[in-house]
Amino acid sequence: ISNNKGDSVVLSWGEVFYPIHRHEIIIATKVMRIVPSKTKEQWPLPVETKLIVASDLMTVRNISNPTNISIRSAYFDESKGGKKGDTAYVKEFTIFDNDEALITVSDLPKDETLYEFPTVFYGRGRGIHSVTPFNGVLIKNILLKHFPVNINSLQRSMILASGNDGYRVIFSFSEIMNRNDQAELLLVELERKIGKSGAKFRLLPASDFFSDRSVKSLLYLKYIK
């Protein structure tokens, strides 16, 4: 989404259409003044339309007078992805900075807090599920060690996640690193392994209503500038 002043920001399809809390990303055309009860101060009202991303902690994506929306598909490097239908057990995943491999993760970091998210998902081929507890660490704390969090990265960077079976999803960098609702992206380590198949790592997007971006058999995460 961009405007005539040269400002541009990235939103993922998932955060627009899949969130549990709907309609928190809008183009505002008018605003109501809220006057503080003690100071009675009347802040000036904006005179332009504005993109509002209500789930962002820092409002760096709230650009004024948006004039253009471009819908794009992420570029997928087939050489780094898995093969469709591959159910082989994957014991680790790699974090890339564009095409540069930075680190391979084979276990959950011991220095990170383990969280439990009781979640109800719609999807996974079986409709609505009962409450399922997912245990894992915040993926943003792992990414923080490798990628800068600044205005530019929050406005324009993305994270591509790929499973070993070739399934790929996109997250905007901001929806992972810049939330004000604590609906975090969790990295979950599964204990289940059946023969040579299974899924050691999967992602849990706690902000999503559907399970489509819950990538299992995680093979890599790729930071895209």
Within its chain, how far is the Cα of 76 from the centroid? 17
**What's the pLDDT at 76?**
66
> Taking the CA of residue 40 as centre, how many other CA atoms within 13 Å lie in the half-sphere pointing to its CB?
0
**What's the pLDDT at 46?**
87
Q: How far apart are CA 183 and CA 31, in angstroms?
A: 27
Lowest mean pLDDT of 101-110, 133-142, 168-177, 187-196, name the range.
Answer: 187-196
**What's the pLDDT at 69?**
97
Average pLDDT over residues 182-206: 81
Q: How far apart are CA 7 and CA 156, in angstroms?
A: 10
Q: Which residues of 52-81 are buried (b: 16+ CB within 10 A; e: fewer)?
A: bbebbeeebbbbeebeeeeeeeeeeeeebb
**What's the pLDDT at 88?**
79
Is the whole-model pTM more than 0.75? yes
**What's the pLDDT at 79?**
63
The backbone torsions φ and ψ at residue 61, rounded to the nearest 5 degrees and listed phi first, read -100, 0
SS3 readout for the chain:
CEECCCCECCCCHHHHHCECCCCCEEEECCCCCCCCCCCCCCCCCCCCCEEEECCECCCCCCCECEEECCCCCCCCCCCCCCCCCCCECCCCEEEEECCEEEEEECCCCCCCCCEEEEECCECCCCCECCCEEEEEEEHHHHHCCCCCCCHHHHHHCEEEEEECCCCEEEEEHHHHHCECCCCCEEEEECCCEECCEECCEEEEECCECECCCCCECEEEEEEEC
Question: In this model, does residue 125 exceed pLDDT 80?
Answer: no
> Tell me: the pLDDT tens digits for 7-60?
999 999 999 999 999 899 999 999 988 999 999 999 888 889 999 999 999 999
Average pLDDT, the chain: 90
Residue 177's pLDDT band (cuts 50, 70, 90): very high
> Tell me: the pLDDT tens digits for 82-120?
677 777 788 899 999 999 999 999 999 999 999 999 888
Q: Are 135 and 152 in contact (CB under 8 A)?
A: no
Q: Are 1 and 51 in contact (CB under 8 A)?
A: yes
Q: Are 61 and 153 in contact (CB under 8 A)?
A: no
**What's the pLDDT at 204?**
94
Question: In this model, does residue 174 exceed pLDDT 80?
Answer: yes
Among residues 201, 190, 191, 206, the alpha carbon closest in space to that of 120 is found at: 206
